[in-house]
Chain A
Amino acid sequence: MKKPLSVLLSLALVVTMAAGCSSGTTTTSSGDSDVIKIGVFEPLTGANAAGGELEVEGVELANKLRPEVLGKKVELVIADNKSDKAEATTAAARLIEKDKVVAILGSWGSSLSIAAGDVVKTNQIPAVALSATNPQVTAGNDYYFRVCFLDPFQGTVMANYASKKLNAKKVAIIQEVSNDYSVGLAKFFTDSFVKLTGDPNAIVATGNYNTGDQDFNGILTNIKAANPDAIFAPGNFTESALIIKQARALGITAPFIGGDTWETNEFITVGGADVEGAVMSTFFDDTNPLTEAGKTFVAEYKKAYPDRENIAAVTALGYDGYMMTLDAIERAGSADPVAIRDALAATKDFEGATGMITIDANGDATKNEAIIKTVKDGKFTYMDSVTID
């Protein structure tokens, strides 16, 4: 009795697969000239799903506000890359070959974007990274652009903050050694801070940890002995919050500074009262938008998601990425990918929600302003904005 059932079920499997293939082909055939397709390539499942979803929110909001360009409807094709590199390359190739997109937005996570970089380059489809801060995303790739600032810039901002605002002379660094973002930021911070203080031994201690670590007492004991004026700890929000908690328990009173990844609600829920006063740099502040476009974005976001407490910076970047791409399509006057690429490369003083964007020769957004936020009364609060020339 069991045999026929199993045959039936395997048949069902085959039919589902066939259905998958056929639906794939039908979407391709609809790729005619009255629709412009833009691919959104994000981790929507897996380890980085939270970040990916926030970016998609921004892109979708922008699409709702500006659904047309050159008199054609813009259709978003969202592809999940499962936070996995192999999947990232196939997802990007699928967007290009099957869905015939003319441009791609994403992905959250620099390494996923780097993996897709080769695909967009060989197929000559322009891509705009939204929050990928690693310099390697755009380096040596004419088809990858970005709307956020880079790790070197963010490192410099925090070094300036530590040296000028905190008057720190000695800083300890705690880096998440398995995270390219954290390692890069720590390096650029070190370079810039040493230059600012003129003291080659300004970094008094360095601690390394791995993603997922829980106990940081070993690192922190060393740091306590070095007695730094401030501690720079860029890294994942959960681990960073735990580090600060354990540091306070050990009696370390030096202020903690970090990067934009801290700006998540988990950072505060895990850290509780101990993360009060922690300072971080970020791209965007919803209470104090830098531009008119930023004000529009905040107003529209609050209308679309009335129950959200604050707006994530990556959502604003998603919004900017979409708007900048549409602006480029308009200037190019056609939906030809190579023409869009050229228009994107020529972007100058584009007014985005996160500031004025000019694309440089590398394909990076030149931004000279970053926002400094701090945790106050259990909330991320605007503190300062730093301009670096």
Chain B
Amino acid sequence: MNETQNSLGAYLKLHWKTAVFLVVLLIGIGLADIFVDSYMRRLLNLCAIYVIVSLAMNLVNGFTGQFSLGQAGFMAIGAYTVAIFTVPVESRTAIFYLEPMAPFLANIQLPFVVALILGGLASVVVAFFIGSPCLRLRGDYLAIATLGFSEIIRIVFTNTQSITNGALGIKSIPTISSLWWTYGTALLIIIATILLVYSSYGRAFKSIREDEIAAEAMGVGLFKTKMTSFLIGAFFTGIGGGLFAALLGTVDPKQFYFTLTYNFLLIIVLGGMGSISGTIIASFLVTLGQEALRFLDEPMAFGLDLPIFRPGLRMVVFSFLLMIIVLFYRKGLMGTNELTWDFMAQKFQSIKKKLSRKKTSTEGGGK
């Protein structure tokens, strides 16, 4: 009893900054949940979902070095599981008006959390079947296979009219608007990822990324380790997809084109392949940045009517800014670094040093 208290005390002593930060963060989410308007709430929810899916993608692509492009497919599985199992039974006949819902599903309605986890597990099962042949191979096969898979899933969902309602999609999914759902899940997943990455499993992931042959020589089971990373990634992505469905309140196959995957690819490249904090920063930057630039789409009145301020300019400027970032931060904003207290202290020190050096050099020049 005494011992555990002591170790907890020691832990808190060592990580008091992190503990304070977490408390502040929780209070911040709580306050935002009460005071933020529905537009901002929607954006913040979207940010959290992007954090979840990007983190899952970074686990496989950034930390384990396996280039997987199946995010849209896994999200679709999670999203459809939530959609199918949470839509109120009484509104199902109205939604499935072309062909009634398959009788074995028609009367099953599950609570949101159960459906969400079920969606994650369904993604894991599918990921297992894709992973077991592909992860044995080296090279780009996984990228090709997962890209193909996400398209196949979409086509399958388009054609299974009595289960997914085909191209018509499912609407009236009970929506979540509280920030706690998305941010709670995101926090849990961030913590799980941190613990995983710094465990012996995480070290095995990174060793595979750096050099497969060396990792194998050191006794890392290549297939098993890659599979672990891939399955965990699929689980998180499925959860993210489920939250996405519950945020929008509607799903249809067209949402899950492979272009959706590129959003997340953009985020992890921008944030840094192999950086958890980079992924989080980039998720917010991309989601909020696109929205903040929306004023460029509106006609501007600077006294004269500029014809370039028209719909679409926002995306041009956004892409331009991205190019600049990638040009100057080749490895993404964070590289493989993490935004830890030490990292920030170091940065702060180096900036201070640089400033003082500049000062002395200009003083020297003055003489």
Contacts and interface: CB of A to CB of B under 8 A. Distances in A.
Contact of A180 (B37, B38, B252, B324): B252
A13 interface: yes
A74 to B, nearest CB: 16
Contacts of A85: 248, 250, 252, 254-255
A20 B290 CA distance: 10
A79 B294 CA distance: 9
A140 B87 CA distance: 13
A114 B39 contact: no
Contacts of A140: 91, 94, 172
B166 A94 contact: no
A45 B311 CA distance: 7
B97 A135 contact: yes
- The size class of the interface chain A forms with chain B is 35 or more
A47 to B, nearest CB: 9
Given A17-B292, A20-B295, A94 B39 contact: yes
**Chain A interface, >50% SS class:** helix
A222 interface: no
A89 B159 contact: no
Contacts of A45: 311-312, 315
Nearest to A135: B97
A184 B98 contact: yes
A6 B46 CA distance: 29
A192 to B, nearest CB: 14
A93 B249 CA distance: 14
A178 B253 contact: yes
B91 A111 contact: no
A90 B291 contact: yes
A97 B39 contact: yes
Given A13-B321, A90-B42, A136-B168, A118 B315 contact: no
Contact of B168 (A93, A94, A96, A180): A180
Contact of A114 (B250, B291, B298): B250
Contact of A93 (B39, B97, B155, B321): B39
Given A45-B312, A184-B98, A89 B167 contact: no
B167 A178 contact: yes
Nearest to B172: A140
Binding site secondary structure of chain B: helix
A117 interface: yes
Nearest to B322: A13
B252 A118 contact: no
Contacts of B177: 122
B254 A178 contact: yes
A178 B158 contact: yes
B206 interface: no
B293 interface: yes
B167 A180 contact: yes
B184 interface: no
B311 A44 contact: yes
A96 B39 contact: yes
A289 B168 CA distance: 32
A183 B38 contact: no
Contacts of A17: 288-289, 292-293
Interface in B269-302: 288-289, 291-298
B328 A183 contact: no
A287 interface: no
A98 interface: yes
B325 interface: yes
A86 interface: yes
Interface string B240-252: 0000100111101
Given A9-B328, A98-B39, A44 B292 contact: no
B39 A90 contact: yes
Contact of B254 (A80, A111, A136): A111
A299 interface: no
A135 B171 CA distance: 12
A24 B294 CA distance: 9
A57 B285 CA distance: 33
A19 B249 contact: no
A135 B97 CA distance: 10
B295 A19 contact: yes
Contacts of B289: 13, 17
B94 A139 contact: yes
A169 B155 CA distance: 33
Contacts of B95: 136
Contacts of B21: none
Contact of A86 (B46, B295, B329): B46
A73 interface: no
B311 A78 contact: yes
B191 interface: no
A280 to B, nearest CB: 20
Given A80-B297, A183-B168, A10 B39 contact: no
A260 to B, nearest CB: 17
B12 interface: no
A303 to B, nearest CB: 21
Contacts of A187: 98
Given A45-B311, A135-B97, A177-B166, A16 B39 contact: no
A86 B280 CA distance: 19
A177 B250 contact: no
Contacts of A177: 158-159, 166-167
Given A24-B295, A117-B171, A6 B249 contact: no
Contacts of B288: 17
A180 B296 CA distance: 32
A45 B293 CA distance: 15
B40 interface: yes
Interface string B183-212: 000000000000000000000000000000
A179 interface: yes
A210 interface: yes
A90 B43 contact: yes
A184 B288 CA distance: 36
Nearest to A82: B315
A115 interface: yes
Interface in B320-346: 321, 324-325, 328-329
B175 interface: yes
B298 to A, nearest CB: 7
B9 to A, nearest CB: 40
Contacts of A79: 294, 297
5 contacts: A17-B293, A79-B297, A97-B39, A180-B169, A183-B168
Given A9-B328, A93-B38, A136-B171, 10 more contacts: A6-B328, A79-B294, A80-B311, A97-B38, A97-B39, A114-B250, A115-B250, A119-B42, A136-B95, A177-B159
